[in-house]
Amino acid sequence: MVSVKPSAHLTRLNSKDDYIAFREHAHRKWDALWNGDATLVSVGVGSSSIAKGALEVLEQAHQVAGDAIVREVSGNGAFWMEPWIEIKRPGVDPVVYGPLTVDDVAGVIAGTRDDLAVGVRGENPVGDIRPLTEIDFFKHQVPLLTRNAGVIEPDSIEDAIARGAYDGYFKVLFEISQEQAIAEVTTANVRGRGGGGFPAGIKWESGRKARNNPKFIVCNSHEGEPNVYKDRHLHECDPHRILEGIMIACIACGAERGYNYIGGEYPLGIRRFRKAVANAERLGLIGKNVLGTGKNVAIRVRTGGGAYVCGEASALMYSIMGVRGQPRTKPPRSVEEGLWKRPTVANNTETLANMPDIIVRGGEWYASLGTENSKGTKLMTMQGPSKLSGVVEVEMGVTMRHLLNDIYGGMREGYTFKGIQTGGASAGPITEDAFDLAIDFDSLGPLNGMLGSGGWVLFDEDVCAVDMARYLTAFSRYESCSKCVPCRLGNPALVEILDRIRFGRGSLEDLALIRRTSSHIIELSLCGLGQVAPVPLVAFLDTYEEEFRQHIVDGVCKCGVCPISAPSRETMLEEVAAD
Amino acid sequence: MVQPDHTHAPRPVPSPYTGRQEIDLDQVREMLSHFTYSDHEEAQELILSALQEINEHFGWVSHEAAEIVADHLGTSATRVFAILTFYADFRTTPRGHHHMLLCHGMSCYVMGSSKLVQKVRDEYGIGDGDTTPDGQLSVQVANFCLGVCDRSPVVKLDDEYYGHVNADDLTDLVNRAIEGREAMHASEVNHG
Ligand SMILES: Cc1cc2nc3c(=O)[nH]c(=O)nc-3n(C[C@H](O)[C@H](O)[C@H](O)COP(=O)(O)O)c2cc1C
Ligand code: SF4
Ligand code: FES
């Protein structure tokens, strides 16, 4: 197995006191680093910046840095400024420069390229350069889960500890009981970030009460949706936070082993997470008799193989067990009979990443953030032709108007707004009348929309509603595991009807047929995939019915996307004749 | 002055794709020797990971390789094949000399990736999972997001990402890749 080795200088800690001493050492080291007389050159390396040449920038930084210390940090979510470099000079706050190329690196390090400066990471301006927090993209964010993004070196457990990692784990190990830990989670009222919004406290309590042993925790980092990359981002920028969340869950629920099931699509995130596990193991935070407490915590990393349905919790467990990932009927629920038929608590990555702060700062503090029914912050991504792009963390209750216009800078030049697809392939689009709603787990429901995992897809007037509905339905058709009939046969039937319409052979009865077929699939399918597969299509039909009718009645696709609008053989011949 | 605790050797710039195809079974055995387990449950948990490593390294998993995996982890070849044919990442036929990952996630869809899928079909006669008859090009249409949405539509050809790709660029990229590795080297690549 591709083994990731722990950092060589770490040694095992055997007691509470050992750990406290190590934590102090990490803090001292961090303070010395940032308050010392060395220049720090931090390069933001994440999968999005690597695609734009960040590794070459990093290499160049090593070449020309001289006495400066070069650090490999993660991306900070702001895709539009990648690749970037942060320079911390003695006595002033760090300044971030980007987007830049390999050729700019030497100048930036030498201090001659202030034209490339984006902002200061800190409160005080440096010369004419203003703080990042005055830039709209950052100003409106509330970085809790992402506060280490671009700050720590993800591969360094000491960096993470100096910034507060494993404090929550320490607390559940030494200071509070399992019941108290779960009470904090319940008070926090943190709801599952995997899309469903189920209260984590209730799930954990059932997990703790389950009598069958051993028990397991599963972190669902599959993220196979085509519309979101927030869990990948979290793995790349702060793997320790996720790991700590899993470890806290293990202690709170009395589970001896935690799993992280990661989609195979993000190798960098997997590597950084494995490194975090290796280092935590080396320090003795994971393993047998953790810090002399007599408690055992094991962590296993498992990776997926590119099947969306494996994000469904029961399918995910089958996938871990080395068979096809096909969902099963419930009951029994996973907390009674999950992985290897043992009680298993499954949570989304982001849900678990919230736990360290909830344990350290308390459930009440957490519950003060967000809306009545949805607490805390939410990671969100925006795809499509928005001016800016990337991962942001905002408080629950943000409005779409604020998110799109203030944070993501509105539509890109030359594009006209048509809608925003919500919930990936599980819900429908919203239009401007939903723009002033406070977004949380429940508010978009009446409008066919859904918060889901927080991935929004902006689309413009050039995108045909029929074609996009087909794209979404075809996604579910392709990803269906084929176990049950309504989903296996129903989704291809829907795609066929849509193709009829796209090719100009549809009839108005097809619209009724879509609705009828859809309700069969929704009502009769076994798992969440089939139960929502037709939802986007029906919602597109509700929202853009006029466009469907134009295809059928007038025989035109006004966006010029569908085959219907390709010039027919006759018109082509006429054109040739006219030449 | 404080020294970083883990001085980084500069990471190598990704090398041009070498188009590995033959599966060296001894190498597979060597890879598998790192997959150790303490009980049958753990052995089963390793099947997917083992296949992934082989698939990643060689670009595909052959019958023979699958059988070796089954032997090593104490399971049947049928079970291994059930996995190979279920998960989209696995290929049971060799990749082309050049491999294209065409992002068809939602951002890329909105920004026109369907045209690219169509272009590959028109120009090379292949679709998702296919290889051209001369073995030069294989394509995978990604149903997930490559995570570079600000450059949509995005194509990953061999080891390089290309952003804002239009249908004409696409054939240029492929032709340059096929004509010679030199032209493909990272320094010349316009990142979009
Ligand atoms: C088809 C399908 C795909 C899913 N994909 C994911 C996923 O990628 N990540 C995730 O956390 N949950 C996913 N879920 C939801 C999980 O089944 C489960 O509800 C969730 O992981 C529980 O964690 P939470 O309570 O923290 O949200 C999916 C559900 C279905 C039906
Ligand atoms: S609804 Fe679809 S994905 Fe779910 S079990 Fe049935 S066939 Fe499989
Ligand atoms: S959807 Fe293609 S890169 Fe995100």
As a whole-number percent, the residues of chain A with pLDDT over 90 amount to 95
How many Å lie between the alpha carbon of A321 and the closest alpha carbon of chain B? Answer: 5
DSSP, collapsed to helix, strand or coil, labels residue A19 as helix
Instruction: Supply the Cα-derived Rg of chain A in whole angstroms.
Output: 25
Summarize the confidence of residues A390-414 as an average pLDDT.
98
Our answer on whether the CB atom of A529 is closer than 6 Å to any ligand 2 atom is yes
Diameter of chain B measured on Cα atoms: 61
- Mean pLDDT across A287-316: 96
pLDDT in tens, A41-97: 999 999 999 999 999 999 999 999 999 999 999 999 999 999 999 999 999 999 999
Q: What pLDDT, on a 0 to 100 scale, did the predictor assign at position B159?
A: 86
Residue A529 CB–ligand 1 contact under 6 Å: yes
Closest CA to A378 of A182, A234, A270: A234
Fold (topology level) of B98-187: Glutaredoxin (3.40.30)
Chain B contact set for A47 (CB, 8 A) = 146-148
Q: Average pLDDT, stretch A427-433?
A: 97
- Of B160, B132, B134, B130, give the one whose Cα is nearest residue B148: B160
Q: Which residues of A touch B5 (CB under 8 A)?
A: 7, 9, 29, 156, 158
| Low-confidence winner among A474-483, B48-57, B170-179 (lowest mean pLDDT) | B170-179
Residue B12: the pLDDT is 39
Q: Which of B88, B106, B147 sits opposite A47 (nearest CB)?
A: B147
The candidate with the shortest Cα–Cα distance to A248, out of A220, A208, A193, is: A208
Residues of chain B within CATH 3.40.30.10 domain(s) are 98-187
Count Cβ atoms below 10 Å from residue A15 Cβ, excluding itself: 12
The pair of three-digit structure tokens given for residue B28, joined into one six-digit string:
């597979």
Residue A79: CA count within 13 A, CB half-sphere? 25
Assembly ipTM: 0.94
What pTM, to 2 d.p., does this model score?
0.94
- CA pair distance B89, B86, nearest whole angstrom: 9
pLDDT of residue A2: 62
Distance CA A515, CA A539 (A): 10
| Beta-bridge partner residues of A394 | A378
From ligand 3's centre to the CA of A50, what distance in Å?
Answer: 14
State both tokens at A412: 């890109």
Closest ligand (CA of A217): 1
Q: Which domains can be identified in chain A, with CATH numbers?
A: 37-134 (3.40.30.10), 157-367 (3.40.50.11540), 377-460 (3.10.20.600), 465-565 (1.20.1440.230)
For A29, the 3-state DSSP assignment is helix
- In angstroms, rounded to a whole number, what is the distance separating the alpha carbons of residues A318 and B162? 36
In tens, the pLDDT along B81-130 reads 999 999 999 999 999 999 999 999 999 999 999 999 999 999 999 999 99
Q: Which among B14, B106, B161 has CB closest to A226?
A: B106
CB < 8 Å to B35, chain A: 1
* Mean pLDDT rounded to a whole number for chain A: 96
The two structure tokens encoding residue A339: 């992985």
Cβ neighbours of A481 in B, within 8 Å = 86
Reported as type and span, the H/E element at residue A31 is helix A16-35
pLDDT at B190 over 60: no
* pLDDT score of B138 more than 70: yes
Half-sphere exposure of A215 (CA within 13 A, CB side): 25
Question: Hey, are the CB atoms on B8 and A320 less than 8 Å from each other?
Answer: no
How far is the C-alpha of A224 from the C-alpha of A311, rounded, in Å? 7
Is the pLDDT score of A575 beyond 90? Answer: no
Ligand 3: does its nearest atom lie under 6 Å from the Cβ of B59? no
Cα(B92)–Cα(A558) distance, rounded to whole angstroms? 42
Distance from CA of B97 to the nearest CA of A (A): 21
pLDDT of B2 reads 40
Torsion from C-alpha of B191, A42, A348, A283, nearest 10 degrees = 140
Q: Give the model's pLDDT for residue A576.
A: 57
Query: In angstroms, what is the span from residue A278 Cα to ligand 3's centroid?
Result: 31
Percent above pLDDT 70 for chain A:
97
CATH class of B25-86: mainly alpha
Give the number of other Cβ atoms within 10 Å of residue A461's Cβ: 12
The answer to whether the CB of A43 falls within 8 A of the CB of A119 is no
Q: Which residue spans within A26-182 are E strands per DSSP? A: 40-44, 69-73, 85-88, 95-97, 117-120
Q: Are strands A298-303 and A257-262 parallel, antiparallel or unpaired?
A: parallel
What confidence category does residue B183 fall into, taking pLDDT thresholds of 50, 70 and 90?
very low
DSSP per residue over A226-266, as a string? TT--HHHHHHHH-HHHHHHHHHHHHHHHT-SEEEEEE-TT-
Determine, for residues A225 and B144 on separate chains, whether the beta-carbon distance falls below 8 Å.
Answer: yes
CA distance A383 to A536: 17
Q: What is the pLDDT of residue A574?
A: 62
Cβ <8 Å between A229 and B147:
yes
Which of A52, A232, A273 to mutate against chain B (most B CBs within 10 Å)? A52
- In chain B, residues with a C-beta closer than 8 Å to the C-beta of A1 are 34-35, 46, 49-50, 53
Write the CB contacts of A196 (distance below 8 Å, at least 6 apart in sequence): none
Q: Is the Cβ atom of B113 under 6 angstroms away from ligand 3?
A: no
Q: Which residues of A188-211 are buried (b: 16+ CB within 10 A; e: fewer)?
A: bbbbbbbbebebbbebbbbbbebe
Phi and psi torsions of A155, nearest 5°: -80, -5
**What's the N-to-C CA distance of chain A in angstroms?**
65
Name the residue among B13, B87, B149 with its Cβ closest to that of A59: B13
Question: CB distance B8–A72 less than 8 Å?
Answer: yes
Nearest CA-CA partner of A227 in A49, A434, A450, A447? A450
* Contact: B75, A322; criterion CB under 8 Å: yes
pLDDT of residue A568: 58
Alpha-carbon gap: B132 to the closest alpha carbon of chain A (Å): 23
Residues of A in contact with B76 (CB under 8 A): none
Output A570 or B141, whichever has higher pLDDT: B141
Interchain proximity A308–B106, CB inside 8 Å: no
What's the pLDDT band for B8 if we cut at 50, 70, 90? very low
Instruction: Name the closest ligand to CA A263.
Output: 1
Of the candidates A53, A308, A324, which has its C-beta nearest B83's C-beta?
A324
Which of A7, A27, A48, A565 to mutate against chain B (most B CBs within 10 Å)?
A48
- Count Cβ atoms below 10 Å from residue A283 Cβ, excluding itself: 24
Establish whether residue B111 lines the binding site of ligand 3, counting it when its CB lies within 6 angstroms of any ligand atom: no
Q: What is the pLDDT of residues A151-171, one digit of tens each?
A: 999 999 999 999 999 999 999
CA distance linking residue A390 with residue B124, whole number of Å = 34
Mutate to test the pocket of ligand 1, among A234, A261, A312 (most ligand atoms within 8 A of CB): A312
What is the distance in A from the centroid of ligand 3 to the CA of B37?
37
Residue pair A444/A420 in contact (Cβ under 8 Å)? The answer is no
**What SS3 state is found at A87?**
strand
Q: In what order do the strands lie in the sheet with A257-262?
A: A298-303, A257-262, A216-221, A344-348
Q: What are the Cα distances from residue B24, in Å, to B18, B21, B57, B64? A: 15, 9, 11, 10
CB A200 within 8 A of CB A190: yes
pLDDT at residue A3 in the model: 72
pLDDT tier for residue A366 given thresholds of 50, 70 and 90: very high
- Residue of minimum CA distance from atom 1 in ligand 3: B105
Compute, in angstroms, the gap from residue A120 CA to the centroid of ligand 3: 29
pLDDT mean over A464-476 = 98
Q: Which uninterrupted H or E stretch holds A480?
A: none
CATH 1.10.10 domain span(s) along chain B? 25-86
pLDDT classification of A144: cutoffs 50, 70, 90: very high
Could you tell me the pLDDT band of residue B14, with boundaries at 50, 70 and 90? very low
DSSP B95: P
* pLDDT 10s digits, A262-285: 987 789 999 999 999 999 999 999
Average pLDDT for A303-315: 95
Task: Assess whether pLDDT exceeds 70 at residue A579.
Answer: no
- Whether A241 is in the pocket of ligand 2, judged by its Cβ within 6 Å, is no
Model pLDDT, residue A158: 98
Nearest CA in chain B to A47: B147
- What mean pLDDT comes out for the span B142-159? 93
Q: Does the pLDDT at position B134 exceed 80? A: yes
Give CA A514 to chain center in angstroms. Answer: 32
Q: Quick one: pLDDT at residue A569?
A: 55
- The whole-angstrom distance between B173's CA and the closest CA on chain A is 16
B105, A70: Cβ pair inside 8 Å?
Answer: no
**pLDDT, tens only, A166-199:** 999 999 999 999 999 999 999 999 999 998 899 9
Average pLDDT for A397-418: 98
